[in-house]
Amino acid sequence: MAMRPNPPRQVTVIIAVALMLVGLGLVFYEAQTLDFVRAAGLPIDIQRQLLAWMEDRTFAWGALAASPILLIIGSLLPFI
Protein backbone atom coordinates (compact mmCIF):
# COMPACT_ATOMS: atom_id res chain seq x y z
CA MET A 1 0.00 0.00 0.00
CA ALA A 2 1.53 3.29 -1.08
CA MET A 3 1.02 6.45 0.90
CA ARG A 4 -0.31 9.36 -1.07
CA PRO A 5 0.57 12.60 0.66
CA ASN A 6 -1.91 15.45 0.47
CA PRO A 7 -1.09 19.12 0.78
CA PRO A 8 -1.45 20.20 4.43
CA ARG A 9 -4.33 22.47 5.38
CA GLN A 10 -3.79 26.23 5.36
CA VAL A 11 -4.07 26.41 9.16
CA THR A 12 -1.32 23.82 9.49
CA VAL A 13 0.94 25.79 7.17
CA ILE A 14 0.30 29.05 9.06
CA ILE A 15 1.07 27.41 12.42
CA ALA A 16 4.23 25.81 10.99
CA VAL A 17 5.45 29.14 9.59
CA ALA A 18 4.71 30.89 12.90
CA LEU A 19 6.66 28.22 14.81
CA MET A 20 9.55 28.57 12.39
CA LEU A 21 9.62 32.36 12.73
CA VAL A 22 9.50 32.19 16.53
CA GLY A 23 12.24 29.57 16.59
CA LEU A 24 14.48 31.47 14.19
CA GLY A 25 13.89 34.71 16.05
CA LEU A 26 14.81 33.15 19.37
CA VAL A 27 17.83 31.26 18.11
CA PHE A 28 19.45 33.99 16.01
CA TYR A 29 17.89 37.24 17.31
CA GLU A 30 17.11 36.50 20.96
CA ALA A 31 17.63 40.01 22.34
CA GLN A 32 15.54 41.69 19.64
CA THR A 33 12.74 39.12 19.97
CA LEU A 34 12.62 39.55 23.75
CA ASP A 35 12.53 43.35 23.34
CA PHE A 36 9.67 42.97 20.86
CA VAL A 37 7.62 40.96 23.37
CA ARG A 38 8.36 43.47 26.13
CA ALA A 39 7.17 46.34 23.91
CA ALA A 40 4.05 44.52 22.67
CA GLY A 41 1.91 45.81 25.52
CA LEU A 42 0.75 42.42 26.77
CA PRO A 43 -0.59 41.96 30.31
CA ILE A 44 2.23 41.48 32.82
CA ASP A 45 1.33 37.87 33.66
CA ILE A 46 1.28 36.77 30.01
CA GLN A 47 4.42 38.74 29.21
CA ARG A 48 6.31 37.21 32.14
CA GLN A 49 5.32 33.68 31.11
CA LEU A 50 6.23 34.28 27.45
CA LEU A 51 9.60 35.72 28.38
CA ALA A 52 10.33 32.75 30.65
CA TRP A 53 9.57 30.34 27.80
CA MET A 54 11.49 32.39 25.26
CA GLU A 55 14.63 32.63 27.39
CA ASP A 56 14.77 28.84 27.52
CA ARG A 57 16.73 27.66 24.47
CA THR A 58 14.90 24.34 24.47
CA PHE A 59 11.68 26.13 23.51
CA ALA A 60 13.41 27.85 20.57
CA TRP A 61 14.92 24.65 19.19
CA GLY A 62 11.66 22.79 19.83
CA ALA A 63 9.73 25.36 17.80
CA LEU A 64 12.23 24.99 14.95
CA ALA A 65 11.94 21.21 15.04
CA ALA A 66 8.14 21.23 15.29
CA SER A 67 7.66 23.29 12.12
CA PRO A 68 8.72 20.71 9.49
CA ILE A 69 7.37 17.83 11.60
CA LEU A 70 3.95 19.50 11.63
CA LEU A 71 4.04 19.91 7.84
CA ILE A 72 5.00 16.26 7.34
CA ILE A 73 2.25 15.03 9.63
CA GLY A 74 -0.19 17.44 7.99
CA SER A 75 0.56 15.99 4.57
CA LEU A 76 0.12 12.39 5.72
CA LEU A 77 -3.02 12.77 7.84
CA PRO A 78 -6.01 14.27 6.03
CA PHE A 79 -7.61 15.88 9.09
CA ILE A 80 -4.57 17.96 10.18
CA contacts within 13 A on the Cβ side of 36: 9
Write phi, then psi, for 37 (nearest 5 degrees): -65, -40
Mean of pLDDT values over 12-23:
93
Query: pTM of this prediction?
Result: 0.75
Confidence (pLDDT) at 67: 95
- Residue 1 confidence (pLDDT) above 60: no
Residues 19-74 pLDDT 10s: 999 899 888 988 888 888 889 888 999 999 988 888 888 888 999 999 999 999 99
Q: Does residue 15 or residue 4 have the better pLDDT?
A: 15
